Chains A and B, each alone.
Chain A
């Protein structure tokens, strides 16, 4: 269980309140208008933004002051998820060994992860020799080898076309959610949430609402969500 306990986040004049628990092994969508604070919440969970007050808990450990790399968290950003000068295999390898001193078994795991996301034999390619969808797959493979229990998705597939995006979401579902990871994804598209998220939480007006079953939320939207969906 990942818990935001009376978390108050502030960025300039913007502030966000979050008092919310994320069930382990589930995919949770954070939905809301842009600027509502979805990414801010992810940044706080990832450790890039220290809360003004409140605590962040994972199981029973207090993560509030942990360094980003020391958290049980992998994150995919909107862009710049891969180092352009490193090969696909090296980019994936960073999830295993941040100093890239990979042993033979490490290399084997990297190859397996690449094969898992459908990129068998692509290890030597650099990102600019891969399509957008393939680049996303490399980043996912890195999340696989890093094997951390919480995965944060800050709209990493936003630049992909609809079909490719769905493909990637299905991959997240089959490789991460099915493997028992807690996946927290930011989205402003209800279809994304319906596709893979068991639960969805509305982020509006500087407030994160409690997560509700995705179908329930969209079938009977509260007024704020109704206003957003139009």
Chain B
């Protein structure tokens, strides 16, 4: 038996992390399955929720990818001032709180938004954003940038020599190089976005609703909050879980890509670049579509910023606490699992991907409900669930770094007789600082903007900033909501920035 390449002693931290993830995924799922009231099966409303969930996800993925292709193409072909900044901004929606983006979209496409104001001025009847097209629009807003990054990566992975060869042979680049690349990249991109849209709750909550535009997640929420029909909520959660697993299996089979990868700053030299106008037009349109809603938040939010009700600041304080706790927990779990190595990472680390916030939340609700008032543990549960849901992303950043350290210094540490505690303190922590900071920032920002579990649990006195903002919007206090949105987005990005910055500081490797 060969000696392990790393010091091995205490195992309880990684066991604890594993158990926590399992309880929050399989445990809550068990609770959901156990409490589900199958009765006479699914009623028409359930079927229509399933149908709507799948339909909106398909449409969202379709439009995201279709719109992303010309943008990625333009970005791959053109070099211009601000290109790198734009590509970085394309990563921002990942950290952007959903509710903030929704408010920004409403400021443009909503009843009193820019678009309808313009239409009214032209004498055209206003359009309503709520319903299927609103949900799809919001999903496209979030996922088109992600699709652009995926597809741009595909474009930039075509070796420069091929372009040179194609140019010298005078063969059509589109058919010979680009179409085959798209054929490889587009299906996986489509499926990843499809999966993300299957579990999206906050968008459906704000843009959907009504019998014809209710997703399964939204139906779960309504069953818990409005009907207090826990059996039905559990049943719906089971359905959602099955949907997610199917989607995840599909997506997992065809992907290996990293949605937050870097190295997109290259421009391929090529020889078929007539008509730059089209490319720049596409880029400008995409930038407007992505930036205008955010600009509206800033514009509307700034005047309100210092007039917001005190409750908003209290909610912001709670949100920051939850986000910090969630980030700390997430990073500790990720570190423990990464130290444990391959098997733990791959099994436990991907389980949350198939779980959705609302399913886990419903399970947690069922577990605690017999014992305590759910509102009392709203923040704690939110923190735990957020940490777990962010775990796959944290692991993605941390696990390869830890693995590399083990490979490079495992034997040296063994021969020096460095014990596990010292190994973590003296070697691992200083050397994973960068991915650690990034992962913590990601977890904090994701938790900060989360509007999922908290909506199931919280009463008035436990509301987080996104929930408070949602309630302001529900009361049509759009100006206050814009102020809260500005605060929320500022806090999310600041938390990410501080953590990421901490990781980069003093990193003399």
Q: Complex Cα distance A86/B429, Å?
A: 12
B430 touches A99 (CB 8 A): no
Q: Complex Cα distance A47/B2, Å?
A: 9
Please tell me if A12 contacts chain B, counting CB pairs below 8 Å.
Answer: no
Please tell me if A81 contacts chain B, counting CB pairs below 8 Å.
Answer: yes
Please tell me if A178 contacts chain B, counting CB pairs below 8 Å.
Answer: no
Within 8 A of A (CB), among B395-454: 408-409, 411-412, 414-419, 421-422, 426-427, 430-431
Q: Which residues of B contact A47 (CB under 8 A)?
A: 3, 414-415
B416 touches A69 (CB 8 A): yes
Q: How far does the Cβ of A62 sit from chain B's closest Cβ, in whole Å?
A: 16
As a 0/1 sequence over residues 145 to 163 of chain A, the CB contacts with chain B under 8 angstroms (1 = contact) are 0100000000000000000
Please tell me if B508 contacts chain A, counting CB pairs below 8 Å.
Answer: yes
With A67-B3, A128-B508 already in contact, the answer to whether A81 and B426 are too (CB < 8 A) is no
| Among candidates B5, B416, B430, B431, residue contacting A98 with C-beta atoms closer than 8 Å | B416
Please tell me if B10 contacts chain A, counting CB pairs below 8 Å.
Answer: no
A74 touches B415 (CB 8 A): yes
With A68-B414, A74-B415 already in contact, the answer to whether A85 and B409 are too (CB < 8 A) is no
Within 8 A of A (CB), among B39-98: none
As a 0/1 sequence over residues 1 to 27 of chain B, the CB contacts with chain A under 8 angstroms (1 = contact) are 111010000000000000000000000
A48 touches B426 (CB 8 A): no
Q: How far does the Cβ of A42 sit from chain B's closest Cβ, in whole Å?
A: 11
B1 touches A50 (CB 8 A): yes
With A98-B419, A99-B421, A100-B426 already in contact, the answer to whether A126 and B508 are too (CB < 8 A) is yes
A85 touches B414 (CB 8 A): no
B3 touches A50 (CB 8 A): yes
With A100-B422, A128-B508 already in contact, the answer to whether A77 and B411 are too (CB < 8 A) is yes
Q: Complex Cα distance A135/B172, Å?
A: 54
Please tell me if A73 contacts chain B, counting CB pairs below 8 Å.
Answer: yes
Q: Which residues of A contact B421 (CB under 8 A)?
A: 99
Q: Complex Cα distance A128/B414, Å?
A: 23
Nearest B residue to A75 via CB reads B415
Nearest B residue to A80 via CB reads B408
Please tell me if A46 contacts chain B, counting CB pairs below 8 Å.
Answer: yes
Please tell me if B310 contacts chain A, counting CB pairs below 8 Å.
Answer: no
B417 touches A98 (CB 8 A): yes
As a 0/1 sequence over residues 26 to 67 of chain A, the CB contacts with chain B under 8 angstroms (1 = contact) are 000000000000000000001111100000000000000001
Q: Which residues of B contact A48 (CB under 8 A)?
A: 2-3, 5, 411, 414
Interface of B is mostly: helix
Max chain A CB contacts within 10 Å: which of B408, B412, B508?
A: B412
Nearest B residue to A90 via CB reads B426
Q: Complex Cα distance A126/B509, Å?
A: 9
A95 touches B414 (CB 8 A): no
Q: Complex Cα distance A142/B2, Å?
A: 26
Max chain B CB contacts within 10 Å: which of A69, A84, A146?
A: A69
Nearest A residue to B407 via CB reads A80
Interface of A is mostly: loop
Nearest A residue to B418 via CB reads A98
Nearest A residue to B509 via CB reads A84
With A69-B418, A94-B416, A99-B421 already in contact, the answer to whether A85 and B2 are too (CB < 8 A) is no
Q: Which residues of A contact B3 (CB under 8 A)?
A: 47-48, 50, 67-68
A68 touches B415 (CB 8 A): yes
Q: Complex Cα distance A94/B426, Å?
A: 10
A80 touches B415 (CB 8 A): no
Q: Which residues of A contact B422 (CB under 8 A)?
A: 98-100
B415 touches A70 (CB 8 A): no
Please tell me if A83 contacts chain B, counting CB pairs below 8 Å.
Answer: yes
A80 touches B508 (CB 8 A): no
Q: Complex Cα distance A46/B426, Å?
A: 22
Q: Which residues of A contact B412 (CB under 8 A)?
A: 77, 80-81, 83
Q: Which residues of A contact B409 (CB under 8 A)?
A: 80, 83
Q: Which residues of A contact B417 (CB under 8 A)?
A: 67-70, 98
Q: How far does the Cβ of B64 sit from chain A's closest Cβ, in whole Å?
A: 41
Q: Which residues of A contact B430 (CB under 8 A)?
A: 85-86
Q: Complex Cα distance A178/B408, Å?
A: 31
Q: How far does the Cβ of A71 sit from chain B's closest Cβ, in whole Å?
A: 8
Within 8 A of B (CB), among A190-208: none
Within 8 A of B (CB), among A107-163: 126, 128, 146
Q: Which residues of B contact A68 (CB under 8 A)?
A: 3, 411, 414-415, 417
B427 touches A83 (CB 8 A): yes
| Among candidates B415, B508, B509, residue contacting A46 with C-beta atoms closer than 8 Å | B415
Q: How far does the Cβ of A14 sit from chain B's closest Cβ, in whole Å?
A: 14
Q: Which residues of B contact A100 (CB under 8 A)?
A: 422, 426
Q: How far does the Cβ of A84 sit from chain B's closest Cβ, in whole Å?
A: 5
Q: Complex Cα distance A152/B58, Å?
A: 62
Q: Complex Cα distance A47/B422, Å?
A: 20
Q: Complex Cα distance A83/B409, Å?
A: 8
Q: Which residues of A contact B414 (CB under 8 A)?
A: 47-48, 67-69
Max chain A CB contacts within 10 Å: which of B1, B412, B415?
A: B415
Having A48-B5, A83-B409, one finds 12 other A-B pairs with CB under 8 Å, namely A47-B414, A48-B411, A50-B2, A67-B3, A68-B414, A69-B415, A69-B416, A77-B412, A83-B431, A84-B509, A98-B419, A99-B419
Q: Can you list 17 pairs linking A and B with CB atoms under 8 Å apart?
A: A49-B2, A50-B1, A50-B2, A50-B3, A67-B414, A67-B417, A68-B3, A75-B415, A77-B411, A77-B412, A81-B412, A85-B430, A86-B430, A98-B418, A126-B508, A128-B509, A146-B416
Q: Nearest 9 CB-CB pairs, A to B?
A: A69-B417, A68-B414, A99-B422, A98-B418, A85-B430, A80-B408, A75-B415, A98-B417, A68-B415
